[in-house]
Each structure stands twice: as C-alpha cells, then as structure tokens.
Structure 1
Amino acid sequence: MPRSERSPLLLAGLLAAAGAAHFTAPRQFDAIVPRALPGSPRTWTYASGIAELALAAGIAAPRTRATAAKAAAAFFVGVFPANVRMAVDWRHRPAPLRTAALARLPLQVPLVLWARGVARNGEGRR
C-alpha cells in the first residue's frame, strides 16, 4: 500500500485510539478540560472521545475523508487549550511527566498539517 493510501488510515487509527482512551481512562482527560468550559469535565471528555471516533470513521471512509480530515484539523486546533492547561498544571510534576506535557504543545502543529494533507489528497480522489 503506497504511503499516500496509508496516511489517512494511520490518522484514523490515531484518532480512534485517542477516542477510545477517553472512555477507558477518562480521569486523565477530565483533568485537562479547561475550567472555563461549562458543565462537567466528564461530559467534555466523553464528547471529545465521541468526536475523535467520528472523525476516525470519517477519515477511514474515502467518500467522507476530505471533509472529516478538515474537521480533524479544526479539532486539533480546538483541543490545544486543554494541552496548554495540562502543561501549566504539570509544571511541578517530575521531569518526565513535565516534558511529556510540554511536548504535546508543538505536536499539535504536525497533527494539523497531517490532517490538512489528508484532506487535500482526499479531495482529489472523489
């Protein structure tokens, strides 16, 4: 399978794994939900897990790939405040945890670019 065909499936797999993690280990996600959001952090954890699973399904299907990949890029931008919150909250944790939290911040950029690339390639295959 050429790399261009694997890329959307890898992105879908990443989103599916992250979405499933929201249900199997929700406490870790609850802790990074920005306090400014209304309602329960668990509600936001489950909602973002559902969103990731839906994005994964949309990217996996060639017919909806371009639209879902654009939505995934927007989603990655939208969850950035939670990653900032995690980095701030974890600033006094042991170095490996602090480093992991900080590493998530620049990781959003390649995720957004990856999703945009999948969207561009998906538009040409309709």
Structure 2
Amino acid sequence: MAHAGDSYQVKLKETHLNWGTYRNPTNRDPVEGEGYIKIPREYAIRYSIYNSPEGVGSNLFTVSSRDGFLHNEVLRAQGNSGAGDTYAKQFAIDKDLRRIGAWYRSQNAQVGDIVQVTWQSPTEILVEIL
C-alpha cells in the first residue's frame, strides 16, 4: 500500500493522451477524448495497486490535480498485462474514460510531458503535469 509522499512519474505518450482513438480497437469503436495515466509495473507492485478486488486504497482512490481541474474524484486502477496478472497498469476516472483526457487538454499536455502521481495518504492522490 502506498503512503503519504510516495510518488512516481511517467512520460506521456500518444496513447495516454488519446486512448480512445490511438490504439488497436479490438472490442469497441474508437471514442474521442479518452485518456489515462500509466502505472509502471514496478510501482504497481511496490504500492500494491491492483485491478481488483474493489476497494479504497486497492484499486479505488480519491484524486485531485494540482491545478484544480480534478477535485476529489474517484480514480480507478484498471487493466493488466495479461491473463492472471492482478496488478493494474493504468488509472482513469471511475466510469468516465474521457475525464483524464479532458484534464490533459486543459493543461495543453503534449507527448513527452511528465505526469507526477503523488499519494497524499493511502487513499488520496494528487496528480500534476511537470
């Protein structure tokens, strides 16, 4: 479990900024505006970030962004690297895959920008673009 002050950084790629259209759509039509925050595997393991079971501090967190665009929203850890893998590989706003994409656009985020994810507590996360 992550603790206050734990953090990681990821460099944005096109797929993070435009997940709904810049991917190999195998199970649904492309959707404009979707985005996600990558969870590098080493941090998923270190901080025990799972794609299930459901639970606050396991795969559900409260997130805010330093700029105020996101404020106390539910952030879900989701996806995995393959069958049987329990660690999550990305964060998205619960039930709204477009919300992170909207945040990226509000910050004029570009490929190569750095996102920092910092735990304020075991259940609260602050995100920012550096």
Q: Give the TM bin, normalised by the shorter chain.
A: under 0.3
Give 1 or 2: higher helix fraction: 1
Give 1 or 2: higher strand fraction: 2
- Greater gyration radius: 1
Provide the TM-score with structure 1 as the length reference. 0.27
